[in-house]
Amino acid sequence: MAEIKCVDLCKTYLQGDAEVRALDHVTLDIEPASFICLSGPSGSGKTTLLNAIGGLDELDSGAISIDGERVDRLDGGALADLRLRHIGFVFQSYNLIPVLSARENVEFVMQVQGLPARERSQKARDILREVGLEGMEDRRPAQLSGGQQQRVAVARAIVSQPKLVLADEPTANLDSTSADQLMRLFRDLNDTHGVTFMIATHDERVMRYAKRLIRMQDGKVIGDDLQRPIDR
Amino acid sequence: MSGSLPIGALGRLAWRNLWRNYRRTLVMLLAIAVGVWAMIFMTALMRGMVDQMIEDGIAALPGYVQVHHPSYRDDPSIANRIPEPDAAFSAALDTPDVMAWTARVRVPAMVSSERDSRGVTLLGVDPAGEIALGFDTEDIVAGRWLDGPDDSGLVVGRKLLERLETDLGKRVVLMSQDPNNDIADRGFRVVGVYRASLPVLEETFVYAGKTRVQTMLGITAQVSEIAVSGRDYRNVDGLVAAVSAAADSEAEVVPWMELDSYLDSMLRVMDGFVLVWMVVVFVALSFGLVNTLMMAVFERIREFGLMQALGMKPRAIMFQVLLESLMLLTLGLLIGNILAVASVLPLSGGMDLGVVAEGMEMMGAAAVLYPALKTGDVLLANAVVIILGIVTSLLPAWRASRYRPVEAIAKT
Ligand SMILES: Nc1ncnc2c1ncn2[C@@H]1O[C@H](COP(=O)(O)OP(=O)(O)O)[C@@H](O)[C@H]1O
Ligand SMILES: [Mg+2]
């Protein structure tokens, strides 16, 4: 469970001489156990918003708090700890460490957390089975398809049951069956464990699962609707 | 360390990354190995050369420690003499530090044949004692070595024999001063000819029986010096103490470093030079090392960013790069050490310097070089590579930990 408050977030990038407003006065209140889709055209600021909430990127102005803790005020070490203990990430691209196998990639975060070996490896096997990668545990990323790599990343993001999962285009490389499977898995975690999900996507299939749909454009929130999601 | 991988997992990660670009790793390994080899092998050669120069120098003194009359070193005449060692002295020197000792009369003298005469140093010796101190009878190239302190013969150097235009079996006259500053002279028959590592030694020293020389100089039971040899010329403090305790309290006990300060400074310069040489080789290596690590880091910017995004601390990332470097260094050291030992051992019987021998002799070195592989030098080479290697790797490692995660991941 995570309650997130974003107040007046602004972020501009310089592209040559031009200023690009990636986040333009974004204010959001996210209740615990939310299941949110961020949609919007490419370049609308979805990735920037997710990165800011995860403490990966600095803002020009604004405040972000997760469960009352001001993320924008934490230093590097504390942010690393926050991500390690409470946030699961699925990035748009380049998610895996190339020299580690699928199982080792999933175990990576648990290793850094200091979990004992036996527990780690059991959890890693279970979660990989759940995302449909049974039998591929020992393959390196280069031996997996784009969709399979994405699923390894998802497995790693949820394996230690964070209170918040930030997923950036998690279905980009998946066929519709796998995408549906993945979204059901996410919803299951959300329904049964109250994990908060924020999923950036422009995939219509994904949006159907969302309990709340936030639309972005040019760095602004242009729509924010609760909706009745399809059943998982 | 929180925010880091357990050491086993870190090690595995570092090891796999090392072989990700195996060609680059192999080239770097080879460079480190050859560098370490050069450090150790060249040091062993230089050590061998200097060791030999010092050992020869000490053999010419002779001894690691000498006992004299306090004024002898200023004026090496027979006026400055000491009592011949007694039984108490020998008993006192019966310690593990002492290898051998001998007492000798040593005076400046003039030797004359019917053709020519030269200034020499006359040594009245106990022949057995000289052998114990390092005189090698193999060096007698004609005739024989002295039989005992009463031997009436004279053993001269090859070069001196040439200069005097005399020969084995002929008589020569030795002339010196007795304690009353009167001329003391005596005829000796040349019974043996020796060779030395350096021609100058062959021209300088002539050996006669100790009692004969004492008689000629009109002294009894007195000598110019007592020479004592020990086990390790680098460490003579114990020996000096033992000899001082045994010797007459008025006598002066001097270690070889003071007897021949040139030899001593050579040894010190050599110690310094070994370190300089190793650091120079390392500096040459370090460019390759930094370059290799920098390349390895730049290739993996996104990976480092990802690790940070997942919650790994920057210093853990730094540690990971250092570990990779340490593995590379250790592997290179291993190969380099094996190469060095494998190339020095076959040469332990001596390296014939052949064509360059003449030049070496001029420098005071012998024609056959015995490389000396010293544990201390090998350890020093390894320490230089590991310590400076880690220091050199700090920059690439620090760079790796400085990427902001989002920038690193955004790079496509
Ligand atoms: N590192 C960057 N440097 C410059 N401009 C950037 C950078 N990251 C994002 N942008 C710009 O910010 C805007 C928002 O990008 P992003 O958050 O990635 O959008 P989305 O994820 O919705 O496609 C875009 O116009 C993009 O070009
Ligand atoms: Mg994006």
Angular region, B181: left φ>0, alpha ψ -120 to 50, beta rest: left
DSSP per residue over B60-105, as a string?
Answer: HS-SSEEEE-TTTTT--STTS-EEPP-HHHHHHT-STTEEEEEEEE
Residues 6+ apart with CB under 8 A from B300: B17, B400
Structure tokens at A113: 């957390």
Percent of chain A with pLDDT over 90: 68
In this model, does residue B351 exceed pLDDT 80? no
> Residue A28 is which amino acid?
L
Residue with tokens 């291993």: B334
Give me the pLDDT at residue B361, please: 56
Contact criterion met (CB < 8 Å) for A56 and B406: yes
Q: What's chain B's length in residues?
A: 412
Report angle CA B229, B70, B230 to the nearest 5 degrees.
10
Maximal CA-CA distance, chain A: 54
Nearest to A198 by CA among A188, A177, A184, A213: A213
Q: Is the dihedral of CA B167, B188, B75, B240 positive or negative?
A: positive
In this model, does residue B370 exceed pLDDT 90? no
Among B6-20, B51-65, B107-121, the range scoring the smallest mean pLDDT is B51-65
| B110 — pLDDT class (breaks 50, 70, 90) | very high
Q: Which of B5, B6, B314 sits opposite A76 (nearest CB)?
A: B314
Nearest to A137 by CA among B11, A175, A145, A129: A129
User: Residues B58-69: what's their mean pLDDT?
Assistant: 86
Distance in angstroms (rounded) separating the CA atoms of residues B196 and B167 = 18
> What are the 10-residue block averages of pLDDT along chain A, 232 residues in total?
90 91 94 94 93 91 93 87 92 88 94 91 93 92 91 92 93 87 90 93 90 95 89 73
Nearest to B152 by CA among B207, B112, B114: B207
User: Using a CB-CB distance cutoff of 8 angstroms, which residues of chain A are in contact with residue B16?
Assistant: 99-100
Instruction: Give domain limits for chain A.
Output: 33-55+75-226
Distance in angstroms (rounded) separating the CA atoms of residues B395 and B407 = 20
List, for residues B6-45, the tens digit of each pLDDT value.
788 888 888 999 998 899 999 999 999 999 999 999 999 8
How close B11 gets to chain A, by Cα (Å)?
Answer: 12
Percent of chain B with pLDDT over 70: 94
> Residue A40 is which amino acid?
G
Starting from the CA of residue A170, give the closest ligand. Answer: 2
Structure tokens at B203: 């021209």
Mean pLDDT of chain B: 87
End-to-end CA distance of chain B: 31
CATH topology of domain A33-55+75-226: Rossmann fold (3.40.50)
In this model, does residue B210 exceed pLDDT 90? yes
Tell me how far CA of residue B354 lies from CA of A11, A38, B253, B306, B367, in angstroms.
78, 84, 40, 63, 7
> Residue A104 is which amino acid?
E
| B368 — pLDDT class (breaks 50, 70, 90) | confident
Residues 6+ apart with CB under 8 A from B111: B117, B118, B120, B122, B156, B160, B164, B172, B173, B174, B175, B206
| B410 — pLDDT class (breaks 50, 70, 90) | low
List, for residues B150-206, the tens digit of each pLDDT value.
999 999 999 999 999 999 999 999 999 988 889 999 999 999 999 987 788 899 999
Structural contact between residues B176 and B184, judged by C-beta atoms closer than 8 angstroms: yes
Give me the pLDDT at residue A1, please: 67
Report angle CA B329, B335, B338 to the nearest 5 degrees.
135
User: Residues B244-253: what's their mean pLDDT?
Assistant: 81
Distance in angstroms (rounded) separating the CA atoms of residues A41 and A5 = 24
Give me the pLDDT at residue B244, please: 82
User: Using a CB-CB distance cutoff of 8 angstroms, which residues of chain B are in contact with residue A96?
Assistant: 306
Nearest to A126 by CA among A185, A184, A82: A185
Contact criterion met (CB < 8 Å) for A108 and B310: yes
Give me the pLDDT at residue A77, please: 84
B308 touches chain A (CB under 8 A): yes
Give me the pLDDT at residue B334, please: 96
Structural contact between residues B142 and B168, judged by C-beta atoms closer than 8 angstroms: yes
| B93 — pLDDT class (breaks 50, 70, 90) | confident
Structural contact between residues B68 and B247, judged by C-beta atoms closer than 8 angstroms: no
Which of A23, A58, A79, A97 is the best mutation test for B, with the most CBs of B within 10 A?
A: A97
Q: Is the dihedral of CA B230, B234, B239, B240 positive or negative?
A: positive
Which of B7, B310, B318, B411 is the best mutation test for A, with the most CBs of A within 10 A?
A: B310
Report the atom number in ligand 1 closest to the C-alpha of A40: 22
B327 touches chain A (CB under 8 A): no
CA of residue B13 to ligand 2 center, whole Å: 29
B310 touches chain A (CB under 8 A): yes
In this model, does residue B357 exceed pLDDT 60? no
CA of residue A91 to ligand 1 center, whole Å: 14
Mutual angle of helices A146-158 and A176-193, in 10-degree steps: 0
Give me the pLDDT at residue A166, please: 95
How close A105 gets to chain B, by Cα (Å)?
Answer: 11
In this model, does residue B73 exceed pLDDT 50? yes
DSSP per residue over B335-362, as a string?
Answer: HHHHHHHHHHGGGTT-EE-GGGHHHHHH
Indicate the SS3 state at residue B270: helix
Question: How many A×B Cβ pairs under 8 Å?
Answer: 76
E strand residue ranges, A16-125? 18-30, 35-39, 61-66, 69-70, 87-90
Starting from the CA of residue A38, give the closest ligand. Answer: 1
| Cα B200–chain centre separation | 22
Contact criterion met (CB < 8 Å) for A54 and B309: yes
Cβ of A42 closer than 6 Å to ligand 1, yes or no, is yes
CA-proximal residue: ligand 1, atom 25 (nearest):
A43
Q: Which of B2, B3, B306 sits opposite A97 (nearest CB)?
A: B306
Among A181-185, B90-94, B113-117, B283-287, the range scoring the smallest mean pLDDT is B90-94
Q: How many CB atoms lie within 10 A of CB A228?
A: 7
Give me the pLDDT at residue B412, please: 46
Which of B1, B403, B406, B411 is the best mutation test for A, with the most CBs of A within 10 A?
A: B406
**What ipTM is given for this predicted complex?**
0.91
> Residue B74 is which amino acid?
D
User: Which residues of chain A have a Cβ shorter than 8 Å from any chain B Cβ?
Assistant: 51, 54, 56-57, 76-77, 80-85, 89, 91, 93-100, 108-109, 111-114, 156
Q: What is the per-residue burial (b if ≥16 Cβ within 10 Å, else e) of B222-251?
A: bbbbbbbbbeebeebeebbebbeebbeeeb
Cβ of A44 closer than 6 Å to ligand 1, yes or no, is yes
H helix intervals, B96-180:
127-132, 158-164
Which of A85, A103, A108, A168 is the best mutation test for B, with the most CBs of B within 10 A?
A: A108
Contact criterion met (CB < 8 Å) for B311 and A84: yes
Cβ of A201 closer than 6 Å to ligand 1, yes or no, is no
In this model, does residue B1 exceed pLDDT 50? no
> Residue B31 is which amino acid?
A
Give φ, ψ of B199 to 5 degrees: -55, -35
| Cα A208–chain centre separation | 17
Residue with tokens 């780690």: A120
pTM tops 0.90: no
| B270 — pLDDT class (breaks 50, 70, 90) | confident
User: Residues B207-217: what's their mean pLDDT?
Assistant: 94
Structure tokens at A52: 């800011």
Nearest to A2 by CA among A167, A227, A198, A155: A198
DSSP per residue over B202-238, as a string?
Answer: HHHEEEEEHHHHHHHHT-SSEESEEEEEES-TT--HH
Indicate the SS3 state at residue B392: helix
Distance in angstroms (rounded) separating the CA atoms of residues A164 and B36 = 52
Structural contact between residues B240 and B99, judged by C-beta atoms closer than 8 angstroms: no
For residue B62, cis peptide bond before it (omega within 30 degrees of 0): yes
Residue with tokens 């019917």: B114
List, for residues A60-86, the tens digit of each pLDDT value.
999 999 998 999 888 888 888 899 999
Tell me how far CA of residue B249 lies from CA of B67, B91, B243, B244, in angstroms.
11, 16, 11, 8
CA of residue A49 to ligand 1 center, whole Å: 10
Q: How many CB atoms lie within 10 A of CB B175?
A: 15
Structural contact between residues B251 and B225, judged by C-beta atoms closer than 8 angstroms: no
Contact criterion met (CB < 8 Å) for B2 and A94: no
User: Using a CB-CB distance cutoff of 8 angstroms, which residues of chain B are in contact with residue A94?
Assistant: 302, 306, 409, 412
Cβ of A192 closer than 6 Å to ligand 1, yes or no, is no
User: Residues B93-108: what's their mean pLDDT?
Assistant: 88
List, for residues A97-118, the tens digit of each pLDDT value.
999 999 999 999 999 988 998 9
Starting from the CA of residue B410, give the closest ligand. Answer: 1
